Amino acid sequence: MSIGEMLAATVPMARTLNLEFVETSADRAVVSLPDQGAYHNHVGGPHAGAMFTLGESASGAIVLAAFGDQLARAVPLAVRAEIAYRKLAMGAVTATATLGRPAAEVVAELDAGQRPEFPVSVEIRRADGAVTGEMSVVWTLRPNG
């Protein structure tokens, strides 16, 4: 099962919004939100909550890709998130997530008995390439037990 399929199967909001996991690797994750009238706002574009979920889902996908081999000893958790809506989003939008710290550095902190925190940056773009939103999600790997 791919990371996208796993998230769609286990995260009800990703499934509800019909998110499409276009690319998922330890270097970047690309997730698309199709244009769906049921999730439009008052001006006919994707609702801010749908765009937040899109960005958070992209950040979660890269976290699973980068740290999936650590799941037996730690659980990834979002600590905090911030989003800035830059331009009007209309139609389908795509979120691209990248890690803000090298994965090896985060794992080294986990190996040292710490609970590492690391940022994931997300850009949300509409089909014409314009950036409609920017998001930062800080994640942690909470050691089990």
pLDDT digits (tens, 9 = 90+) for 23-81: 999 999 999 999 999 999 999 999 999 999 999 999 999 999 999 999 999 999 999 99
pTM: 0.95
**What does the block give as tokens for 79?**
């600590």
Q: Pick 3-143's CATH classification: 2.160.10.10, 3.40.50.620, 3.10.129.10, 3.40.50.10260.
A: 3.10.129.10
pLDDT digits (tens, 9 = 90+) for 89-119: 999 999 999 999 999 999 999 999 999 999 9
Distance CA 144, CA 136 (A): 25
